[in-house]
Each structure stands twice: as C-alpha cells, then as structure tokens.
Amino acid sequence: MSTLQLSSSPDGRVWTLVFDHGKANEMGSAQLAELEALTQALRDDPQVAALITVSRRCTSKGQPIFVAGANVTERVGWSDAQVKAHVRWQREVLRGLANAPVFHVVVVNGLALGWGTEYLLTADYRIAAEAASFALPETGLGILPGAGGTSALWQLVGPGHALRLGATGERISAGEAARIGLVEEVVPDVDAGLARAAVLAGLVAGRSPTAVAAFKAGVRAAMGEAVAAEADAYDWCVDAGEAAVGRAHFQQIVAGAAVPWGPKRLR
C-alpha cells in the first residue's frame, strides 16, 4: 500500500493497518482506493482471520491523531455531482470493510473527527486510549455524516446520542464514548490498546475462520442498514447549496467565524 501501512503476523492470521499519512491522517481518494483494495484482499486471503487498525500519529505539538476527517481540501473546485459521487464511494468503501469476513478491532488514540468517528462503524470491536476524543463536525460544514454516521451510528449509541453528536458537533472524551456505547473499552494508552487488540485477534485466529465469518455475517445482516436514506439526506445538503457554502468558507469555519448559511430548506 502506498499511503496506508499494512503488516501481517508471521502466520498470516492477523493483519495490522496503520494510519500515518498526510497532515493529520485525513482520508481522501488515495486512501479510499487502498481501503477498497484491502477489503478485497481480506476476502481473497484464506489465512487472515483478524484485522487491527491503529494510528500512532501526532501533530507537531504532540497531540495524537487517529483520523482528522475526510480530505476536504481535495474537493475544492469539484462540482456538486462530483461531491455526491465521492461520498457515495466513501460510503460503499466503509460498508465493504465493515462486512469483510474477518474480526476487525480498531484502536483509537487521539482525535477521531468526522470520518474518523465513522471509521469506527467498520469495526467489530472498538478500543479507545484515554487520549482519544470523538466528534462529528459535518453539519457545521453544511453537510452531514454521510459514511455511516447517519445510517448506522444510532445502532451503537442510540438515536438520542447520534443526534446529539451529529447536530451539535460536540467533542466527547474516551470515557463518554464508552458510556454511550461508541467504544467497548478504554485503556491507558495506545500500547495497552494494541496489546488488548492482539489478545482478541489471537483468540479469533485460533477458531474456525469459516464459522467466525459466518457469525459476523449473521450479526451484520440482523443489524440491517439504512444507507439509501443517508444517501438521500446527504444529497439534499448538496442540492440545497449548503455543502458549497461550507467548502467556500472552510477556513472561517475552522477559525470559528460566522458563516452565511442559507435559510432552512425542507424536502
């Protein structure tokens, strides 16, 4: 992989994916293509049983980063049709990874913003270091969480907390994430998280890969998804012009300045 780092245990049963790219592990077209290829490899390889995702990335000031969101800057100059097609691709890539026939453990250390929080929906088990924090800032950009944050997040945390996170953009701590069900465990640091993930992955690796894949498929099927509704809602934000406002005023939004949003438009 060219921007995402992938390694394997000696027996090929456990793969580890490390985010360490760009300024802040932002996810763009290159990373989506690599995740798409990874998902296919997980399906094709008869040995792999578990996947661990982690990041040790830190900012120049030492702040740990998991994923600081989608690569919004690459969308500058895109048409509305290009934006909608790209987000549909994001949605399909994450859905594909979520349904990959392996047990996926995500270890979050640092900021998991927007796409970073939505990436948790691809996991079968989520571990947060104490330094982790989570937020969905998309509605402050004139869009909505379009890669599962609208259609699937509520199944983890309930409709109330999903609406709270998506509508307010409030950033929550690792402890709060565990309290509402966004993560299953909180550990002191990233090394403790990786150690715990390795234990879980090792247990899975000793079991029937066919049975584990079938069990996961059954659970995922029972959960169901509301992807079409999420896609329609995201497209409405774009068609109403709010996504374009968000892109045009991105720096002001980051700085906390007022943005000239249009009036509320209902479908």
The set of catalytic residues is 118, 138
What are 16's strand-pairing partners?
7, 52
116 Cβ neighbours under 8 A, 6+ residues apart: 25, 66, 67, 68, 69, 108, 134
Report the C-alpha gap between 66 and 128 in whole angstroms.
10
Report the C-alpha gap between 13 and 157 in whole angstroms.
31
Report the C-alpha gap between 212 and 33 in whole angstroms.
26
DSSP string covering 63-110: -BEEE--B-GGGGTT--HHHHHHHHHHHHHHHHHHHTSSSEEEEEE-S
Cβ burial 173-190 (10 Å sphere, 16+ → b, else e): ebebbbebebbebbbeeb
Report the C-alpha gap between 4 and 7 in whole angstroms.
10
What is residue 135's three-state secondary structure? Answer: strand
| Cα 17 versus chain centre, distance | 13
Q: Which H/E stretch holds residue 134?
A: strand 133-135
